[in-house]
């Protein structure tokens, strides 16, 4: 189980540069200021980055071109070298069945857009409690 104090490298995956900037800022406001941030524009780019850099936490958008967040999550969680990396999925749609499916696939949490610093803080703090998935 990962502890939020052990998160030093965040991989932020979203096809929107603005969304990536907002997510990064929320993480910083949540208390993770002196961390490394790597950005990817889609799941395929994130997957390629993971072949060279070990991220401690992945925050991915659900709907992206080339490789969406669900497929990225599935790849990560079925690859032994990456399966222990916590993944947060962010989405602009509210679909309880889809959220349950993502948690079932191994997502730590599903956060609605726009992401808030408070929501990010609660989600990262949950790592210290139990490391289990949750809907925010």
Task: Give the pLDDT confidence of 116-127 residue by residue, as tens digits.
Answer: 999 888 888 877
Q: Which of 131, 91, 129 is nearest to 110 (CA)?
A: 91
**Tokens matching residue 123:** 């989600």
Taking residues 34-63, report their average pLDDT: 96
Residue 1: is its pLDDT beyond 50?
A: no
Confidence (pLDDT) at 2: 55
Statement: 4-135 belongs to CATH 3.50.50.100: no
Q: Which helix (H) or strand (E) holds 23?
A: helix 17-29
User: Is the peptide bond preceding residue 114 cis, with omega within 30 degrees of 0?
Assistant: yes
Taking residues 23-52, report their average pLDDT: 94
More confident residue, 4 or 110: 110
Task: Provide the pairing of β-strand 36-40 with 87-91.
Answer: unpaired
Question: Where are the chain's structural domains?
Answer: 4-135
Residue 5: is its pLDDT beyond 70?
A: no
Rounded to two decimals, the pTM is 0.90
Q: Which of 50, 41, 46 is nearest to 14 (CA)?
A: 41
């Amino acid at each position: 189980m990962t502890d939020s104090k052990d998160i030093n490298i965040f991989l932020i995956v979203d096809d929107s540069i603005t969304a990536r900037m907002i997510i990064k800022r929320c993480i910083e406001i949540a208390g993770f200021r002196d961390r490394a941030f790597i950005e990817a524009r889609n799941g395929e780019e994130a997957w390629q980055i993971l072949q060279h850099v070990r991220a401690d936490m992945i925050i991915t958008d659900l709907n992206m071109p080339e490789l969406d967040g669900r497929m990225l999550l599935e790849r990560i969680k079925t690859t032994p070298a990456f399966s222990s990396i916590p993944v947060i999925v962010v989405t602009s749609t509210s679909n309880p069945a889809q959220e349950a499916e993502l948690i079932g696939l191994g997502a730590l949490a599903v956060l609605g857009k726009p992401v808030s610093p408070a929501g990010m803080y609660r989600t990262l703090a949950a790592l210290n409690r139990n490391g289990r998935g949750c809907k925010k």
